[in-house]
């Protein structure tokens, strides 16, 4: 199973904390984690294995969206910061739309992500 993780700048620490909380579950279920570049770097620094795509503003969100459309990515956890503007918002919207089109579970906050991960 492949899970994509993405976090806006103000949510990256929260993402690392979340992944540390469920690290054992991801290992038990043999889950591959993919990520946008900057989020992936923070996650790697915390000792969690991740495959990094480009940074979100440079196309990482679009790369993950492509994997969703191709049926390679099975879940997306995207800790969004709804109070900030983001220059790559069209890519974010495309990713969210493709999750809906392809019926891929999408969590945009820790509470929803926790429900999805517990359901694995």
| Residue ranges of the binding site for substrate | 8, 12, 36-39, 55-56, 88
In Å, how far are 36, 40, 59, 98, 103 from 15, measured between CA atoms? 12, 10, 20, 22, 23
What are the binding residues?
A: 8, 12, 36-39, 55-56, 88
Catalytic residue among 9, 61, 81, 100: 61
Structure tokens at 9: 């700048």
Task: Evaluate whether 102 touches 72 at the Cβ level (below 8 Å).
Answer: no
Beta bridge partners of 7: 79
Task: For residue 61, indicate whether it is catalytic.
Answer: yes
DSSP state of 88: T
Catalytic residues: 61
């Amino acid at each position: 199973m492949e899970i994509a993780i993405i976090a806006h700048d103000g949510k990256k620490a929260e993402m690392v904390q979340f992944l540390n909380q469920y690290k054992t579950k991801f290992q038990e279920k043999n889950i591959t984690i993919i990520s946008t570049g900057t989020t992936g770097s923070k996650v790697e620094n915390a000792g969690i294995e991740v495959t990094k795509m480009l940074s979100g503003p440079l196309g990482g969100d679009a790369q993950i969206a492509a994997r969703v459309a191709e049926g390679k990515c099975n879940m997306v956890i995207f800790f969004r910061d709804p109070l900030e503007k983001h220059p790559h918002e069209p890519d974010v919207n495309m990713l969210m739309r493709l999750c809906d089109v392809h019926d891929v579970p999408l969590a945009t906050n820790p509470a929803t992500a926790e429900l999805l991960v517990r359901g694995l």
